[in-house]
Structure 1
Amino acid sequence: MLNELEYQTFFQGYSLTDAAVRSRDTFSFLLRENQPDEGCSQDSDTGKQIRLINFFVNAEPTRRIGCGQYLGFLRSKLAVAHHPVEQAVLIDSTGEVAVLGGGKNDMEQQIEYGPDGPRRGSITCASTLFGHVYVAGPWRTIARRIGVDQWESLCADSILPKPGTGKSLEFGTDWGFQSVDGFASNDLYAAGGYGDLWRYNGHRWLQCALPSRMLLHNVCCAGDGHVYVGAQGGSVLRGREDRWEIIHEGRMTLPFKDMVWYGGRVWCTSDYGLWQIAGGELVEADVPHAVHSCAGNLSVGDGVMLLAGIYGATVFDGQRWTPVIDRLAFTRQG
């Protein structure tokens, strides 16, 4: 677990906003500086330092943490690349990119903007799929990182139509995407906007007809062969290709922030809690209070699941939860 000196040096004064599994004993965290907003919204990154942390749990005491620090990154997202080099990848909403790990602590070129991608608009999602980092965003933006400064567009107009013209065109978030997942690199699903769900067959994207036009926030391609889609209020749709059903109608204040498959079920989280989908039903996860306090972000990799949020982080190996960061313990000591 993170010790007090490590917490005070790298985490104190910062909020944990994203997390990712790099390996079963190496985790990456995205931190945002806490400071008076001075006219900015509470969740704005404007004028705030961003830290990217790699935490090597079993390394020598003086070599357990790698840290990169940045200014000017807006609404940043975190994912882990395993190809071509294993490292944490930080991407902000404007397509700025930084990497930490594999002997690098560098800025990379901004993801190129254009009508055929790789970036049609802002970036709202970063995911690790099949060893690569994928990004998604409004205007049906979707791209894959294939190397240093190299992003492959998966949203050229010939394979993924741009949203139609009309009065609502000024609102790019009316259409996808907010999330991307897949069973394979040629079997992807991307979701966002008002019922805007698409699937990729390796050649082109095909739109999925859903029974609702709810706002979509998450997509999870699960080990049971189904695709689970998180929608407004914590509602959940389930299906694949052209067959879909609503399995839960939610009334939550916040939508799910992450949905992942682990241990034979779907796990869902927001800042308000942790849930599971088992047997087609959404239920609150039966876990200790200390685990619930880490709700906010989920990441799966190398046989473990990481849960991380405002109050800390904990990792699950299928049998037990092990604390990684206990922010409340350090706060009480202070």
Structure 2
Amino acid sequence: MLNATEYQVFFKGYSLVDAAIRSRDSFSFLLKQDEPEGGMPDEAKTGQRVRLINFFTQAEPNDRIDCGQYLGFLRAKLAVSTQPKLQAVLVDSSGEVAVLGGGDDDMEQTIVEDPDGPRRSIITAVATLFGHVYAVGLWRSVAKRLGPNQWESLCTQAILPKPGTGKGVEFGTHWGFQAIDGFAPDDLYATGGHGEVWHYDGQVWKQCPLPTNLVLYNVCCAGDGQVYIGAQSGSILRGREDHWEVIHQGSMTLPFKDMVWYQDRVWCTSDYGLWQIVDGQLIEADVPLAVRACAGNLAVGDGVMLLAGIYGATVYDGQQWQALIDFFALAKTAP
């Protein structure tokens, strides 16, 4: 577990906003600097100070943390690549990129904004798929990181049309993507906007007809062969390509932040809790209170599942939960 010295040096004054798995014994965390009372000064509002942490649980106490620090990253997102090498990849909404690990602690070239890719507008999410980092965003942006400073566009006009414009088209209705997942590189699903789901077959994208125009936030290509989509208010859709159904009509204040497949079910989380989808039913996860306190972000990799949020982080190996960070207890020890 993170100790008091590590907390004081690397975490104090910052909030955990995203998390990813490097291996079952090493994890990456994205931290955002806390705002002082009265808000940020005007000169700081153009960007946020963030930290990218790699935490190696089995290393010696003085060598367990690598830390990169960056200024100007707005609405940054975190993923971990294993191809071409293992490293944490940080991407912000404007396409700025930083990497940490694999011998690197670098800023990379910005993902270029261009009507034909690799990005068309603001980046909203990143994901680790088949060892590579994928980024999606508004205006139906989709890009795949092949290596340092190299992003492949999956959103050229020939394979993924830009959203419609003109009379009768409201902003947000076709605003683009909030999430991406897949069963294979040639079997991807991207979701976002009001009921927008697109399927990629390795050559072109095809829009999937949905029985709703709810705002979509998450997508999980699950081990049962189905695609699960998290919508506004915690509603859930299930299906594939041309066949979809609403399996849960939500009434929550927040949508789910993450949805993942682990073992034999889908897990869902927001800052308010942790849920599972079992036999098509959404149920609250039966986990200890200390685990539930870590709700906020979910990640799966190397046979384990990571749950991390503003109060801490814990990892599940399918049998038991192991605490990694307890911010509440650590804050009491800090001067």
Scaled by the length of structure 2, the TM-score of the pair is: 0.96
* Residue equivalent to 1:225: 225
**1:332 corresponding residue in structure 2:** 332
Q: Is the 8 A contact 2:295 2:309 kept in 1?
A: yes
- Given that residues 188 and 199 in structure 1 are in contact (C-alpha distance below 8 angstroms), is that contact kept between their aligned partners in structure 2? yes
2:261 match: 261
Partner SS for 1:6: helix
Gaps of at least 5 residues in structure 2 are none
Counterpart in the other structure of 1:248: 248
The CA deviation at 1:39 is: 5.6
Alignment check: 8 A CA contact 1:173 1:192 kept: no
Question: Secondary structure at the residue paired with 1:177?
Answer: coil
Which stretch shows the higher mean deviation, 172-181 or 286-295?
172-181
Q: Please give the per-residue CA displacement for 1:96-119, whole angstroms capped at 9, x wherever unaligned.
A: 000000010000000011011111
Paired position in structure 2 for 1:149:
149
**Identity over aligned residues, as a percent?**
67
Aligned CA RMSD, in angstroms, stands at 1.6
Instruction: Report the counterpart of residue 294 of structure 2 in structure 1.
Output: 294
1:258/1:297 contact within 8 Å kept: yes
CA distance in 1, matches of 2:95, 2:112: 8
1:50-81 deviation digits (Å, cap 9, x = unpaired): 00000010012211000000000000000001
1:274 aligns with 2:274: yes
Q: How does 1:100-119 map to 2 (within 5 A)?
A: 100-119=100-119
What is the 5 A alignment of 1:93-104? 93-104=93-104
Determine if contact 2:52/2:67 at 8 Å carries over to the other structure.
Answer: yes
Alpha-carbon distance in structure 2 between the residues aligned to 1:40 and 1:163: 35
Aligned pair count reads 332
Q: Give 1:285's aligned amino acid.
A: A
Partner of 1:132 in structure 2? 132
The alignment partner of 1:176 has SS state of coil
Structure 2 distance, partners of 1:245, 1:166, is: 30
SS of aligned partner of 2:62: helix
Which shows bigger deviation, 321-330 or 158-167? Answer: 158-167
Distance in 2 of aligned mates of 1:328 and 1:168: 50
Instruction: Look up the match of 1:239.
Output: 239
Q: Which amino acid aligns with 1:117?
A: G
CA-to-partner distance for each residue in 1:75-95, whole Å, 9 max, x for gaps? 000000101111000000000
Relative to structure 2, which stretch is displaced further, 299-308 or 44-53?
44-53
Deviations 1:257-285 (A, max 9, x none): 00000011000000010000010000100
1:66 is matched with 66
Q: Distance in 2 between matches of 1:298 and 1:46?
A: 29
Task: List, as ranges, runs of 4+ consecutive aligned residues in structure 1 with deviation greater than 4 Å.
Answer: 37-41, 44-47, 167-170
Q: Determine the C-alpha separation between the residues in 2 that align with 1:134 and 1:49.
A: 24
In the TM superposition, residue 38 of structure 1 has moved relative to its aligned partner by 5.4
For each residue in 1:23-53, what CA deviation from the matched residue of structure 2 results, as whole angstroms up to 9, or x when unmatched? Answer: 0001000000012275669xx9744310000
Question: For 1:8, what is the secondary structure of its paired residue?
Answer: helix
Distance 1:38 1:332 in 2: 24
Matched residue SS, 1:120 = coil
Q: Structure 1 unaligned runs (5+)?
A: none
Between the aligned partners of 1:47 and 1:132, the Cα distance in structure 2 is 27
